[in-house]
Chains A and B, each alone.
Chain A
Amino acid sequence: MYYYILRNNDENLMYIYLPIAEQPIHSLAVLGVGAFLGLIMGLVGVGGGFLLTPIMMFLGIPPPVAVASVANQLVAPSVSGVLSHWKRSNVDFKMGTVLLVGGVAGSSIGVLLFNFLGKIGQLDFVIKSSYVIFLTLIGSLMFVESLKLILSTKRGKVSRGKLHQHNWLHGLPFKIRFRKSKLYISILLPILIGVIVGILAALMGIGGGFIIVPAMIYLLGMPTSLVVGTSLFQIIFVAANTTILQASQNQTVDIVLAIILLLGSVVGVQVGSRFTNVLKGEYLRLILSSIIILVSLKLLIDLITVPSDLFSIIISR
């Protein structure tokens, strides 16, 4: 009889103990989240890390572990994405290399910053508030854009924006020619974009696609067809650099969590990309932007409502 009592509850076999997060988690929940986000990624083309990390935090994974492990898992969909874009010759490797130089430098700074914020006890706050800012921004932009598109197609006309605009940024020194992108611009610009995205990627556990894609279109003036493949190419290296540095500096990469997320997302992406032609893109974007706004709202509420206990503890391992 005692033996029966002493055994761990068998009905909870679906739980898996995460060695770095040091807590059990329901494996189906993580697999499901991974698959769901993979599906969104396949359908819309964005939406990996910047939704995944907050959801991991909602599931109770400590933010440092969530950020580092999501960076690890992001490597896989990026590799897979680059391979398929490469086949269609949609990658500007020269531009990608310049971006990734900035990105690797930026993510290294990001990990150092991450380390420093952890030491002074402000890491959770910085991660959460940067999410609130960026998710609100991206979510509302996407929402408005897709709503406009839906309304204008209903009215029967499609508005077209300008693709390539020249501004003062193109006047910077050290100009270099990017044949594939048909650009002749200062090398400083893509490096700077890479650095900024790298810092954010390391801090927030994102690939940075949702920042770098608009930056490449509007600031660099790259052809849209090349943007996704090229950004994915640089994300591989930024995510890889972040993972290795997080692992060696902070020991926060949970490989078990990353693998479960990976398996879910890999299948999700493939299923999603198969249905892209079935469902209308703008409606999907509308739904996705609503989800993003909801997530940022939840994070915002956590930050501004009076905590149930003003005190919290950190137990050092």
Chain B
Amino acid sequence: MNFFFHIAVIFLVLIITSKTYAQNQIVADLSQENVKISTDFQGAKILLFGAYDGKKGDDIIVIVTGPKGLVTVQKKDKILGVWVNTKKVNYINAPKYLSISSNRKIEDILNKKTQKISEIGLNNLNVRIQPGIKVENEKQWRQALTRNMLKSNLWSINENSVSLNKDALFRSFLELPSNVITGQFEVKILHYRNSKLVSQQINSINVSKSGISAGIYSIAQNYSTLYGIFAVFLAVLVGWGSNLIFRKV
């Protein structure tokens, strides 16, 4: 009895899993999972590719989210003829990188309500203002955040950038700008059929400093006084050296 029960459970699990795997699976991979910021870094272009079990009319949305943290929005006012920052609002959990890519216009894939619920789209992000601060005209600040993040290339909307092939393969280029922040990036691939999520997969990209650049950065952060002394020493050496060299020339 016990034995048969076990067999039955295993069988059941197998059926369920195999069915979901076979039918609604999405498999994706990245050309590069570790992005190294070294002295020649000018941004990275990563190829995301994979296979999905699609039907005609299916859609794919790819959302890449970088580390979240503090982003401050400042506003300038004219004081005595010059423009000075006077007010600021802190957003405590703003993604410092965000790209939303899709095979066609997102509004054609999902209606406004679904977009809002699944937090897809720049205006549907759940970014919070630092508690305890009263903000007038919150919408204006929120729009300023989006506008400036888009301008710095750290946020982007790339509709029509996911290419689908025979309802089975997809690929998309993910671009990380040169001013990208280090950390763990989440790559979420969403497969929609008639506005319903059929399957999804999450990959990740790790962006880190490497080589000399990483070394200098970490020394500057962790041994900052020593770093300063070394910087001065180096400059003294160059100054003294140039004096020696050019005297002989």
A contact set with B: CB distance below 8 Å: 2, 5-6, 8-9, 12-13, 15-17, 19-20, 22-24, 72-80, 83-84, 121-122, 124-125, 129, 236, 240, 243-249, 251, 253, 255-256, 258-259, 262-263, 266-267, 269-270, 303-307, 309-317
Contacts and interface: CB of A to CB of B under 8 A. Distances in A.
B136 to A, nearest CB: 14
B135 interface: no
Contacts of B202: none
B181 A309 contact: no
Contacts of B45: 5-6, 8
Interface in B112-159: 141, 144-145, 147-149, 151-152, 154
Given A20-B220, A22-B179, A121-B88, A75 B232 contact: yes
A-B pairs, 4 with minimum CB distance: A247-B228, A79-B239, A311-B144, A75-B235
B72 A313 contact: yes
A243 B148 contact: no
A9 to B, nearest CB: 7
B104 to A, nearest CB: 23
B150 to A, nearest CB: 11
A23 B152 CA distance: 12
Interface stretch (B5-13, B21-29, B33-41, B187-195): B33-41
B73 A311 contact: yes
Chain B interface size range:
35 or more
Contacts of B173: 5
A262 B235 CA distance: 8
18 contacts: A2-B47, A8-B40, A8-B45, A12-B42, A15-B42, A19-B39, A19-B216, A75-B236, A78-B239, A121-B88, A244-B228, A262-B238, A267-B242, A309-B147, A309-B148, A310-B75, A313-B72, A316-B69
Contact of B96 (A17, A245, A255, A315): A315
B160 interface: no
B71 A121 contact: no
Contact of A251 (B40, B85, B224, B229): B224
Nearest to B96: A315
Contacts of B73: 311-313
Interface centre among A245, A249, A266 (most CB of B within 10 A): A266
Nearest to B72: A314
B246 interface: yes
B178 interface: yes
Interface of B: 31-32, 37-47, 69-78, 81-85, 88, 96, 141, 144-145, 147-149, 151-152, 154, 173, 178-179, 181, 209, 212-214, 216-217, 220-221, 224-225, 227-232, 234-236, 238-240, 242-243, 246, 249
Contact of B83 (A9, A258, A269, A303): A303
A184 to B, nearest CB: 33
A84 B246 CA distance: 11
B228 A313 contact: no
A313 B231 contact: no
Contacts of A6: 31-32, 45-47
Contacts of A262: 235, 238
Contact of A317 (B37, B152, B181, B214): B181
Contacts of A19: 39, 209, 212-214, 216-217, 220
B85 to A, nearest CB: 5
B227 A255 contact: yes
B76 A307 contact: yes
Contact of A313 (B40, B74, B225): B74
Contacts of A8: 40-45
Contact of A23 (B77, B178, B236, B239): B178
A75 B216 contact: no
Given A122-B85, A312-B74, 19 more contacts: A5-B173, A17-B213, A19-B216, A19-B217, A19-B220, A22-B179, A72-B232, A121-B74, A125-B82, A236-B236, A244-B225, A247-B224, A255-B227, A258-B234, A270-B249, A309-B144, A309-B151, A311-B141, A317-B181
A19 B220 CA distance: 9
Contact of B236 (A79, A253, A267, A303): A79
A245 B228 contact: yes
A6 B216 CA distance: 27
Nearest to B216: A19
Contact of A255 (B144, B152, B216): B216
Of the listed residues A79, A267, A306, the one surrounded by the most CB atoms of chain B closer than 10 A to its CB is A79
A253 B33 CA distance: 31
A79 B83 CA distance: 39
